[in-house]
Structure 1
Amino acid sequence: MTSLKAEKAVIVPGNGCGDVADSNWYGWANRKLNEIPGFSSILRNMPDPITARESIWLPFMKDELKVDEKTIIIGHSSGACAAIRFAESNPVYGIVLVGAYHTDLGDYNEGESGYFNHPWHWEKARENTQFIVQFGSTDDPFLPWSEQEFVSTSLHADLKKFEDRGHFMDESFPELISVVKQHLK
C-alpha cells in the first residue's frame, strides 16, 4: 500500500449495545480521538445492532460511515469481525481489533451474523492495511484465548496481551488512544 495519512477513525461496536455513545469505552474514546488535531473520529449506532449481520454492517461502513484508505477501523467484538471482513476487500489505513475472534463460538446469534460461514482471507486483510493491532485478554469471559491468538497469528497483528481486562467493557481505554496516536506519527 502507498503511504497515506490517516484522517479519521471509525469505531465499530460489538453487537447487543444500546446507544453506543453510552456503551463501554466507545463514547469516551470517540471524544479523546476527536481531540487529536487534524484527525476525527466517528461513532454511530449501527443498523441491525443485535445480530450485526455482515450483509448490513459492511455496506453501512462503506456507504454511511465512509470508511476508506485514510480510515483506522477500531472494532470491538463483533465489530472486530466486521473490521477484518471489511479489510479483506477494501483498503483501509489500519485496523485496531479489541476482543477479536474467528468462529461463531457455537452461539446461534453469532452464526446468524454471516461472518463465519465463509473462509477468512487473512492475507488480503493484511495487504489492505498499513497496520493491525489487536487487544486481547486471557480472562475474557466470552472468548477463549485460543480464538484471540488464532486471529493475531493469522493477521500477524501486533498483539497487546492483557490478563485482567475481560471483554474490554470498561468506561475508558487509554491504551487504545495511545496506539492510535502512535500510528499517526
Structure 2
Amino acid sequence: MERALLDAAWVELTETGYDDLTIDAVATRAGTSRAVLYRRWPNKQDLVLATLLHHVKSDAVPMPNTGSLRGDVVALLKAANELRLRTAILVFTRLGGFYRDADTNLAELAAVVQGDRATMIDDIIEQAVARGEVQPGQISERVARVPIELFRYELMVRLQPVPDDVIDGIVDDVFLPLVHLGARRSD
C-alpha cells in the first residue's frame, strides 16, 4: 500500500511540481482517501520527502566495477545520466516551494536522501585502493566529490542529459589530474 501511495505521489510531483501537488490529487490517483495519506505523512513536505527517498532507492544506480578508477567514475556518471535525469530536473526545477516550506536547501536534501551510507564515489575509491591504483588517503573528500558536483552542475544548467564528452572531460581533465596531484603530495 505504501509503495502505491508513494508511486502516486511521484507521478503527481513530476506532473505538477511541489507547489501544485495536493494530498487530494495523490489520494485520488492512489485510489484511497486523504486520511490514509495523513496517517503516514502529517504534511505535504513529509510526503514529498518520503516520495523522493522511495524513488531514489527504487531506481538505484548500479555500482560500477570496470577495473579502473577512471572507468568506474565514467560508468557511474553515465549511469546517473540515464537513471537520475528526471529526478535531478525535478529537484532543480519543481521543488522551490518544498525548500521554502521545509526550510531546507538542495545540499541538505541531498544529505537526507544519502543518509548515513557512504556515497558510491567512496566505494569506487575503495575499489581503486584495493586494486593498488591509488594510495589510501590520496584522494581527499573534496576531490572525491568533484566529479559528482561537476556532473550535478552540468545537469542543473543543461536540464538535459550531460553529453558523454563532457562526462569524459570531468573525469579526464579535472578529477584525474587532482588525483595525481594528491599522489605527488603524499610522496
Normalised by the length of structure 2, the TM-score is 0.27
Larger CA Rg, structure 1 vs 2: 2
Normalised by the length of structure 1, the TM-score is 0.27
Greater fraction of residues in helix? 2
Greater fraction of residues in strand? 1
